[in-house]
Amino acid sequence: MKTIFHLDMDAFFVSVERILDPSLQGKPVIVGGDPHGRGVVAACSYEARKFGIHSAMPIANAFRLCPKGIFLHGHHKEYVRYSNAVKNLLEEKFPIVQQASIDEFYCDFTGCQKIYGEPQEFAKKLQQEIMNKFSLPCSIGISSNKSVSKIATDLNKPMGITFVPHGKEKEFLAPLAIERIPGVGKKTFPILKARGFNTIGDLANASQDYLASILGKFGIDLWNRANGFGSDILSLEHERKSISKETTFEEDIVGKTEIEVHLFKLVEKVAQLLRNENLNASTIGIKLRYSDFSTITRAKTIKEPTNDDKIIYQTAVNLFRAVYTRRVGVRLIGIHLSKLEHVSEQEVLFEDEELIRKRMLNAVTKIRDKYGSKIIHIGIVGNK
């Protein structure tokens, strides 16, 4: 049986902001932008959480709850830099490290006892080393699989260490509330609650067939996790599954042309990300939210995967025009790319025109990386 560490950086964005500006220590800090805008909270300090603020909350609501809070736009490049530094340290310690997100890692400790001793003691030393080297607090969960370790981490934050002995997974989970299981959120929670499920133990004692009849395949997955089962396989690379960007307007927009301009800007950003990571996308989707909060999403899978602004925009704008049928103000527009794959290096297979355009896009990417995204734009003529 394996021993899997789950390491989660505590209030990571806020922790990095406090490194950049130590005067933020001990204060309610909210990362997410203009408090009078219409964005959402990306992260908040534990001091801010005491006011009822949480991630994904509208930033305006956060301001109403804590008007004296410190609201920041954030420094994404710094977050990436510190994330990479933590990952490099973990890779020095563990044989396999899987990065689950910018602030979350799974590490395989199996067989490392001979080198480091008991997992709990090593976790304390690791936690302290990360704090000493980077001034970043983290919490660690330890069990036989990724699912239980993640729940264990979340149970004891910040700067917590939770160890679940092999064979005690089900017993550990049983008294916990069902919403402790990742994936049991706004939609699933009321469905389960209405049927008398309050604790993870309640789910574990139900039949697989019954949960499947309510929630489909997710019901079976839920039963497995409630019983302490989960994957112990770690992938060596953190493969990005999708790329998305969205913008919430300061004021609702009705004009189609103005919305399409914003969509174009989002396409520039996601296409740049694709090229930076040497990726192509096959599925292009858009998200449209009206002023009454009704939300529409549409997606299309194209024949040839691409990272070309022109192709992505033309697909996205056609999807937008097909769904924009109401004369109601638009609050948000977003774009989502999925079915990502690495770009083939065999440029010789491209036709001359395609090769020239690919080289042009690569040049644009390098210029933007060096001088900023606003320095150069690619002209796109959409379908009228």
Count helices and strands in the chain by DSSP H and E runs: 15, 12
- Sort residue 11 into left (φ over 0), alpha (ψ -120 to 50) or beta: left
Question: Are both 326 and 287 inside the same structural domain?
Answer: yes
State how far the Cα of 367 lies from the Cα of 370, in Å rounded to an integer.
5
127, 4: one domain:
yes
HSE-CB at 168 with a 13 A cutoff on CA atoms is 10
Q: Provide the annotated active-site residues.
A: 104
Residue 377 lies in a domain: no
Phi, psi values for residue 58, rounded to 5°:
-55, 135
Same domain, 315 and 354: yes
Residue span of the structural domain in which 103 resides: 1-164
Does residue 201 sit in the same domain as residue 104? Answer: no
Q: Which residues in the chain come in under a pLDDT of 50?
A: 345-353, 381-384
pLDDT tens, residue by residue, 7-49: 999 999 999 999 999 999 999 999 998 898 878 899 999 999 9
Task: Give a yes or no: residue 205 inside a domain.
Answer: yes
Q: What's 209's domain CATH number?
A: 1.10.150.20
Question: Any idea what the Cα angle at residue 153 is, between residues 151 and 156, rounded to 5°?
Answer: 110
Does the residue 248 lie in any domain? Answer: yes
Q: What is the pLDDT of residue 130?
A: 98
CA dist., res. 159 & res. 231, Å (int): 25
Q: Domains in the chain: how many in total?
A: 3
DSSP string, 303-353: EEEE--HHHHHHHHHHHHHHH--S-S-EEEEEEEEEEEEEPP--GGGS-HH
Burial string for 314-323 (b: 16+ CB within 10 Å, else e) reads: bbbbebbeee
**Whether 31 and 148 share a structural domain:** yes
Would residue 83 count as lying in a domain?
yes
203 and 143 in a common domain:
no
Could you tell me if 123 and 191 lie in one domain? no
What CATH number did the domain enclosing 337 receive? 3.30.1490.100
Looking at residue 370, its pLDDT comes to 54
* Residue 232 forms part of a structural domain: no
- Quote the pLDDT of residue 37: 82
Domain annotation covers residue 231: no
CATH code for the domain in which residue 160 is found? 3.30.70.270
Domain boundary among 111, 130, 164: 164
> Is residue 376 domain-resident?
no
Q: Do residues 303 and 203 both lie within one domain? A: no
Listing DSSP states for 178-217 in one string gives: GGGSTT--TTHHHHHHHTT--BHHHHHHS-HHHHHHHHTH
**Structural domain includes residue 234:** no
Same domain, 188 and 307: no
* Spatial separation of the C-alpha atoms in residues 350 and 360, rounded to whole Å: 14
Q: What are phi and psi of 287, to 5 degrees?
A: -130, 130
The whole-number pLDDT of residue 364 equals 59
Q: Are residues 275 and 259 in the same domain?
A: yes
pTM (predicted TM-score): 0.68
C-alpha to C-alpha distance for 13 and 243, rounded to whole angstroms: 20
Q: Are residues 199 and 275 in the same domain?
A: no
Burial of 74 (0-12, 13-18, 19+ CB in 10 A): middle
Q: Is 128 helix (H, G, I), strand (E, B) or coil?
A: helix
Q: What is the pLDDT of residue 342?
A: 76
Same-domain status, 297 and 333: yes
Contact 40, 57 (CB under 8 A): yes
CA distance 99 to 78: 17
- Report yes or no: 23 and 129 within 8 Å, Cβ to Cβ: no
Taking the C-alpha atoms of residue 347 and residue 115, their distance in angstroms, rounded to an integer, is: 47
Q: What is the pLDDT of residues 118-130, one digit of tens each?
A: 999 999 999 999 9
The pLDDT of residue 198: 97
Please report the pLDDT score of residue 349 as a whole number: 39
